[in-house]
Structure 1
Amino acid sequence: MEQPFRTTLAQLLKARFPIVSIESHEELRVLFEVRAVAGDADLVRKPRPVWTWSLTDGLRRDDGEEQARTTDPADALDALLRVGQPLVAVFRDLHPVLGGPGHPGDPAVIRRLRDVATAFRSESEPRTLVLVSPVSRVPVELEKDVTVADFPLPSEQEIRGVLDGMLRANAGSPRLRVDLDDAGRERFAKAALGLTLHEAENAFARAMVDDGVLHLADLPVILEEKRQTVRKAGLLEFVDSGPRLTDIGGLETLKRWLGRREGAWLADAADYGLPAPRGVLITGVPGCGKSLTAKAVAAAWGIPLLRLDIGRVFAGLVGSSEQNMRGAIRTAEAVSPCVLWIDEIEKGFADTGANDSGTSSRVFGSFLTWMQEKSRPVFVIATANQIEHLPPELLRKGRFDEVFFVDLPTRAERDAIWTLHLGRWLRHPRVGAPLTVDAGLVAELTGLSAGCSGAEIEHALVAAVYDAFAERRPLRRDDVVRALANMVPLSVTQAERIAAVRAWADARAVAATAAEDLDPEPGPVRPGADGRQRPHGGRHVEF
């Protein structure tokens, strides 16, 4: 378990680490913590004054006295070297002169930082330089001199303090009515986890002025602030809520597995000693509901859905791909609890490092390490159409909780899919009447669509509605039958490919379809490992 930041910083100061780098946008909060540690005799034995430097204010003591009339960082470091007393110096936003991908740093500043590290390490008076910036940059010359300290996002208690303070400040306002009990305030604080204190304050303020009443219905405002966080990061896409799991026909084993893990990141699960679920890898026939399941899980669990485009990770300057992956992971953790959806993961991580000087291998390694070690409730759903191209280390236990195989829908699943899609269309006033959803129509269409994927069934119904629209009339049974007759399903055009995927999944993945839903009718079949005919690949288990 990670130890508190104050404990970590106190250890670094007592051990006389010369330079500490802290990556954070919340420099005021960092300064508050540094002052709290440096001035506490119980933490550092001998309290030390705090000095600060910025490009606008120059070098100053905490009492406001200006120590060097310079906004040049090299001159400020020279002035710091001449100070012969214990101190903690906090330099803000020094990262532009430390270099980064595509541009070198300032050699004079880097050299002076090395001089500072040498002087602070060797002299008798305890001195430490703390670098605070929104981007962590450590030039190769300073890799052995700089220690990176993680600064966590605000805790639930800190966010709750901001909310309570805002409510007290506006308690006498006739324009605000607070309709929250203590449990409601706790839900607001939990919803804001992952935001900075400033972002949480903005979200609470927006919720207050929305309609003059602060109540649980304002929780989506917090989600919108998280959407802004994702949008500004630029590497992830915030996906709007999709259908619920009950809106997906079939896949009962997969839905049951996911349903039993709802809320597993909350305190109730922790009381059982359970870790937060890591995620699932879903492979199978294209168009059979893999991506739809990712959207449905986030909607069913009531948490944000983020989509990671691997192409964005590898875009940009040389050396930035690894940083992009780390940035995407940090953003996902900041928005947690959330679902992180990686669509067609094999296109980003197949044959890693083949022709790119090892960049993809390093990015893949960062992702694997995070999957193995992550402690934040980020549930990863990865989908793959060509799973055999994925490296084996991604598939072993500890990365994903389970690997599921989604095959072509069975008769029972097609029946559910037709019922769902027909129900949506026939409720439309211009499309539906006089056609109605009845058992006979569903059974007929289910039989005619053998070998079709869920996406193909949906497309056939859309094509039939186009025919009805062309003549400005309601939908007819013949329209749907004709659309099915004119469609060549993927099970025909890609028969060999589907057979290969089923063969791979037979012993390596769990069938997403419940065993009781298997087709008793003849259908696309293949020999099983025991020589008997099985309608679908993937082993069947009970969850």
Structure 2
Amino acid sequence: MAESFRDVLGQLFKARFPLLYIESFEEQRVIAEVTAVASDSAQVRTPRRIVTWSRTEGLRPAEGADKSATTEAARALDVIVRRDEPTVYIFRDLHADLGDGHRPPNSDVVRKLRDVAAAFRVGSVARVLILVSPVLRIPRELEKDLTLVDFPLPGERDVRALLDRMIEANAGSGRIRIDVDDLGKEKLAKAACGLTVSEAENAFARAMVNDGVLNDDDLDVILEEKRQTIRKSGLLEFVHVDTNLSFVGGLENLKRWLDRRKNSWLAEAAAYGLPAPKGVLITGIPGCGKSLTAKAVAAAWGLPLLRMDIGRMFAGIVGSSEENMRAGIRIAEATAPCVLWIDEIEKGFAGAVSGGGDSGTSARVFGSFLTWMQEKTQPVFVIATANNIDRLPPEFLRKGRFDEIFFVDLPTLLERVPIWRMQLQRRAAHLVSDEEFVTRLGQLSEGYSGAEIEQAVIGALFDAYAERRALQPEDLFRALTTMVPLSVTQSEQITAIREWADVRAVAATAPEDRAGYTATGDGFLPGTPIDTSNWPAGTDPSIAAARGGRTVDF
């Protein structure tokens, strides 16, 4: 088990580490924790007083130094290096003097920090300087003197305690109705993990006042607060989803696998001995529902969906790309439990495979991501999608990175029929009642992806709209005949993908949905005519003949 912040800080105090750096927005919570350690005889042998500094307040308490004389960082450092008593000095927002990628650090401040480190390391009394800042900036000159200390965001226990206090404070007011059980409280607390104390408090307060009731439905309010936090970072995108797994046609094998892992991040699953699932890699033919599945899983599980654009991680300043990846991972872990979606991941890490042109930046960023995937303990469920398997590094596919690799093929007949039904229900509900007609559409669209079926419906709607009339069956048949699907234009690539997946991935389609398939497709043999005698009047029978002769290798 990882050591707590207090344990780590107590060890650093006793070991007389002179210069510490804590990256956090919650400076008041940091000061409270540091004060608790500095005054705890079980953590430190010599209790130490706390003195804080900021550019607006100077040293507090000043004790002999004029406040106005210590608002300048260099002068404040001169003061503390001369004091000789057990003290913890906490300097807030000193990063402004430590430079960034566009401007150099303040040389006087850097030099005095090195003087402080040298004096505190060998002094006769216990002294330490802690820099607290919301951003991490360490000049090269200070790399060997500074020690980084991780300060975690409030854990689930802290957030749950905050929620319980707010419920207790508002339950008797008569204005707020509390309608949430222990499981609901656990879900609300988990949803608020990743927020600061003030952000979590704001989210719970908003959840209570938006309708006067606190219940399970207020998860969306908590997620909205997270959405604000993630948008400010600029590294990840908080994706709003309004779909679920029932909107994904077919892929029953994948959907069952995902459904069995719902709520596996809760305490009940941990008590059962289950670890949180790592994630899945979904590969296959473009347009067959990989990205839609990622969105649907987040909605079905009631978790926030974060999208990581690998290209956004790369920056021009040396070292910034690696830092962006680490920051993106920290945001995802702080938002946990969540679903992290990486679309077309092979394109983002293409440089790690080719190894050219960026002085190894792609390889280092990729290495950071791989290590995190292997070692992560936070419930961040990663869904990565890929179209081109050959561009994925081999080490990315080994067990331990993902729980499973699923292959999404072109939809079978039993999968195409519900896809047609869903598309027509959304745009032409008057045609859905004819089950035989929908089945015929499924038969005629052999070799079509789900995205191509959707585009066929949209194309037919444009034709009908141009004549200002309702959509007719022959519009759909015409749209199918004029479209050349991907299974024809890229048949060689699809064959190669299938050969790769045959022994390396699990089929996302359930075995029962593949029943009756022949080597050439949905049970249609080349040249076999389709009976069109009961089709609507005016339907071109050549449509069926054109589709009946197409072969698709499964």
What's the TM-score once normalised by structure 1's chain length?
Answer: 0.91
Which shows bigger deviation, 340-349 or 318-327? Answer: 318-327
Match of 2:17, SS state, is coil
Name the counterpart of 2:222: 222
Trace 1:133-148 onto structure 2 (pairs within 5 A).
133-148=133-148
Residues 67-466 of structure 1 mapped to structure 2, 5 A cutoff: 69-170=69-170, 173=173, 175-180=175-180, 184-315=184-315, 317-352=317-352, 353-427=355-429, 432=430, 435-466=431-462
Taking structure 1 as reference, are residues 217 and 91 closer, same or farther at Cα in structure 2, changes over 3 Å only?
A: same
Q: Provide the C-alpha distance between the structure 2 equivalents of 1:222 and 1:258, rounded to a whole number of angstroms.
A: 24
Q: CA deviation at 1:13?
A: 0.5
Letter of the structure 2 residue corresponding to residue 523 of structure 1: T
**Secondary structure of the residue that 2:159 maps to in structure 1?**
helix
Opposite residue 520 of structure 2, the aligned amino acid is G
Distance, in Å, in 1 between the alignment partners of 2:70 and 2:178 is 49
Counterpart residue type for residue 454 of structure 2: E
Per the alignment, residue 493 of structure 2 pairs with 497
Offset at residue 502 of structure 1 (A): 1.5
d(CA) in 1 for partners of 2:315, 2:4: 35
User: Structure 1 residues 171, 247: closer, same or farther in 2, change over 3 A?
Assistant: closer
Deviation of 1:437 (Å): 3.2
Alpha-carbon offset, residue 110 of structure 1: 1.3
Q: Give the superposition deviation at 1:205.
A: 2.0
Secondary structure of 1:312's partner? helix
On the 8 A contact 1:77/1:116 being kept in 2, the answer is yes
Instruction: Supply the distance in 2 between the matched residues of 1:356 and 1:178 (Cα, whole angstroms).
Output: 56
- The offset of 1:58, in angstroms, is 0.6
- Name the SS of the counterpart of 1:224 in structure 2: helix
| Secondary structure in structure 1 of the residue aligned to 2:382 | strand
Q: Is the 8 A contact 1:50 1:62 kept in 2?
A: no
Are the aligned partners of 2:253 and 2:509 in contact in 1 as well (CA < 8 Å)?
yes
SS, match of residue 254 in structure 2: helix
Do the aligned residues in 2 keep the contact of 1:280 with 1:400 (CA within 8 Å)? Answer: yes
Task: Verify the 8 A CA contact 1:102 1:317 in the aligned structure 2.
Answer: no
1:165 Cα offset (Å): 3.7
Paired with 2:468 and 2:520, the residues of 1 have a C-alpha distance of 37
Alpha-carbon deviation of 1:105?
A: 1.3
Render the CA deviation track for 1:291-348: whole Å, top value 9, x for unaligned. 0110111011110111111121114544321121112111111111111100111111
Whether the aligned pair in 2 keeps the contact of 1:264 and 1:277 (CA below 8 Å) is yes
1:381 to partner: Cα distance: 0.6
SS at 1:507 equivalent: helix
CA offsets 1:395-432 (integer angstroms, 9 cap, x no match): 111111111111111122112212222233333xxxx2
Give the SS at the match of 2:504.
coil
Q: Which moved more, 1:309-318 or 1:328-337?
A: 309-318
The one-letter code of the counterpart of 1:252 is: E
Q: Is the 8 A contact 2:487 2:552 kept in 1?
A: no
- The CA deviation at 1:214 is 3.2
% same residue: 63
Change in Cα spacing, 1:110 to 1:247, as seen in structure 2 (3 Å) is same
Change (3 A) 1:186 1:402: closer
Which stretch shows the higher mean deviation, 8-17 or 507-516?
Answer: 507-516
CA contact (8 A) 1:102 1:318 kept: no
Q: Structure 2: which amino acid aligns with 1:484?
A: L
Aligned with 1:286: secondary structure? Answer: coil
8 Å CA contact 2:520–2:553 kept in 1: the answer is: no
CA distance in 2, matches of 1:33, 1:536: 64
Partner of 2:466: 470
Aligned equivalents of 2:210 and 2:16: distance in 1? 50
Structure-2 change in CA distance of 1:204 and 1:357 (3 Å): same
* Cα distance change, pair 297–466 in 1 and its aligned pair in 2 (3 A): same
Match of 2:483?
A: 487
Q: Deviations over 1:184-236 (max 9, x none)?
A: 44443232111100101111222233233333333321111011111111111
Give the Å deviation of 1:243: 2.1
Q: Assess, with a 3 A threshold, how the Cα gap between structure 1 residues 524 and 74 changes in structure 2: closer, same or farther.
A: farther
RMSD: 2.2
CA distance in 2, matches of 1:501, 1:436: 34
CA distance in 2, matches of 1:64, 1:459: 77
Range with bigger deviation, 27-36 or 231-240: 231-240
Give the letter for the 1:20 counterpart: L
What TM-score do you get using the length of structure 2 for normalisation? Answer: 0.90
> In the alignment, is the contact (CA less than 8 A) between 1:321 and 1:359 conserved in 2?
yes
Contact 1:351-1:390 at 8 Å conserved across structures: no
Aligned-partner SS, 2:273? coil
User: Are residues 179 and 416 of structure 1, via their aligned partners in 2, closer, same or farther at CA, if it must alter by over 3 Å?
Assistant: closer
Residues 407 and 536, structure 1, Cα contact 8 Å, conserved in 2: no
Compute the displacement of 1:142 (Å).
1.6
The count of residues paired between Structure 1 and Structure 2 equals 523
CA distance in 1, matches of 2:180, 2:432: 46
- Deviation sequence 1:36-57 (CA, Å, 0-9, x none): 0001111112111011111111
Distance 1:171 1:278, change over 3 A: closer
State the 1:84 CA deviation: 0.8
Distance across 2 between alignment mates of 1:112 and 1:185:
49
1:523 matched to 2:520? The reply is yes
- The one-letter code matched in structure 2 to 1:379 is F
Tell me which residue corresponds to 2:546: none
| 2:526 match | none
Between 1:273-282 and 1:59-68, the stretch displaced more is 59-68
Q: 1:101 touches 1:319 (CA, 8 Å); kept in 2?
A: no
Residue segments in structure 2 that go unaligned for 5+ positions in a row = 523-550
Which stretch shows the higher mean deviation, 47-56 or 62-71? 62-71
SS at match of 2:12: helix
Classify 1:65/1:168 alpha carbon distance in 2 versus 1 (closer, same or farther; 3 Å): farther
**Distance (whole Å) between structure 2 residues aligned to residue 476 and residue 333 of structure 1:** 50
Aligned match for 2:505, one of 509, 512, 534: 509
1:503–1:183 Cα change, 3 Å: closer
Residue segments in structure 1 that go unaligned for 5+ positions in a row: 526-533, 538-543
